[in-house]
């Protein structure tokens, strides 16, 4: 509901699927920036892993001159996003630019099939390999019964949570308490966030353990700008010095 354009340089107003602002903040001879800003605000580690992993695999296929993908250009991407997001069955048809009508499952299955072939011929990194298997698992679940993915997919987990609450309190979908529940699922405060309650009760699939999370928070990879930023801030605080840090500058 918050996406209004296919491609744009904007990020907050008239929010697009792909933002064209190319700011790699790195060696421009080696790196470019692809800013894909459409998508769910996932809490599920599983969903995030699949989302990022599938995108990585698709980009590799697009960059490979020997890989040819079918043209699945949507006639109206913004309308299609809304129609798909409103459909809990994942089978609603959307129109392609060539006039054909396909479902989100049809599109995903086509890309998955090509990705599986790509793995056989080109190989993938261990992380991409894992993401591909998880992607395949999700599509099989969506094909047979979307509600079976309540441990993997945020929207399924949240749907079941909201429906149980509505039935228990006899509330309509538009009730303010239901809207609050929707927001609370995504609260990143571990004391308030409903996702974390499900996680604590072992009702959501984990991809990494807490020790790895703590390590990543406190010790960024040594070859990244994040490590330099963190070290700069730590030293400045030790010396009680004022500092300013952004994506480009340390002062």
What span, in angstroms and rounded, lies between the C-alpha atoms of 42 and 153?
Answer: 9
pLDDT at 15 over 80: yes
What span, in angstroms and rounded, lies between the C-alpha atoms of 133 and 57?
Answer: 12
Who wins on pLDDT, 164 or 220?
164
The arithmetic mean of pLDDT across residues 138-160, rounded, is 97
Question: Residue 249: what pLDDT?
Answer: 87
3-state secondary structure of 35: strand
Q: Kindly provide the b/e burial profile for residues 70-93, where b requires at least 16 CB atoms within 10 angstroms of the residue's own CB.
A: eeeebeebeebbeebeeeeebebe
pLDDT at 201 over 90: yes
For the stretch 227-237, pLDDT in tens is 999 999 999 99
Question: Residue 39: what pLDDT?
Answer: 78
Determine how many CB atoms are found less than 10 A away from the CB of residue 153: 24
CB 57 within 8 A of CB 115: yes
* Range scoring the smallest mean pLDDT among 28-32, 40-44, 159-163: 28-32
pLDDT at 22 over 90: no
The arithmetic mean of pLDDT across residues 209-238, rounded, is 90
3-state secondary structure of 170: coil
Q: Using alpha carbons, select from 69, 65, 45 the residue that is nearest to residue 204.
A: 45
Question: Residue 133: what pLDDT?
Answer: 98
The arithmetic mean of pLDDT across residues 121-135, rounded, is 97
Question: Residue 99: what pLDDT?
Answer: 96
pLDDT at 139 over 80: yes
Question: Residue 42: what pLDDT?
Answer: 95
169 Cβ partners below 8 Å, 6+ apart?
Answer: 177
Question: Residue 190: what pLDDT?
Answer: 92
* Range scoring the smallest mean pLDDT among 19-33, 60-74, 75-89, 145-159: 19-33
Question: Residue 222: what pLDDT?
Answer: 86
Q: Where are the alpha helices (DSSP H) in the chain?
A: 45-63, 77-85, 104-122, 126-144, 154-169, 176-185, 194-200, 210-218, 225-238
The arithmetic mean of pLDDT across residues 75-80, rounded, is 95
What are the angstrom distances between the C-alpha of 194 and each of 5, 42, 141, 210, 227? 31, 13, 24, 18, 32
């Amino acid at each position: 509901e918050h996406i209004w354009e296919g491609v744009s340089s904007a990020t907050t107003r008239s929010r697009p699927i792909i933002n064209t602002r190319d700011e790699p903040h790195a060696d421009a001879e080696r790196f470019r920036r692809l800013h894909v800003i459409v998508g769910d605000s996932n809490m599920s580690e599983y969903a995030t892993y699949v989302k990022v992993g599938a995108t990585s695999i698709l980009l590799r296929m697009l960059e490979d001159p020997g890989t040819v993908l079918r043209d699945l250009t949507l006639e109206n991407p913004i309308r299609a996003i809304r129609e798909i997001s409103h459909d809990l069955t994942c089978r609603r048809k959307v129109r392609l630019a060539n006039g054909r009508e396909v479902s989100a499952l049809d599109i995903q299955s086509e890309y998955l099939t090509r990705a599986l072939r790509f793995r056989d011929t080109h190989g993938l990194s261990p992380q991409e390999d894992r993401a591909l298997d998880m992607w395949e698992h999700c599509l099989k679940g969506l094909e047979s019964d979307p509600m079976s993915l309540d441990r993997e997919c945020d929207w399924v987990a949240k749907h079941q949570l909201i429906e149980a609450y509505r039935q228990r309190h006899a509330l309509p979908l538009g009730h303010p308490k239901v809207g609050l529940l929707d927001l609370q699922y995504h609260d990143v405060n571990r004391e308030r966030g409903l996702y974390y309650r499900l996680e604590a009760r072992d009702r959501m699939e984990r991809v990494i353990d807490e020790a790895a999370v703590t390590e990543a928070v406190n010790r960024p990879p040594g070859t990244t700008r994040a490590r330099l930023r963190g070290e700069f801030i730590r030293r400045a605080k030790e010396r009680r010095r004022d500092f300013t840090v952004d994506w480009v500058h340390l002062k």
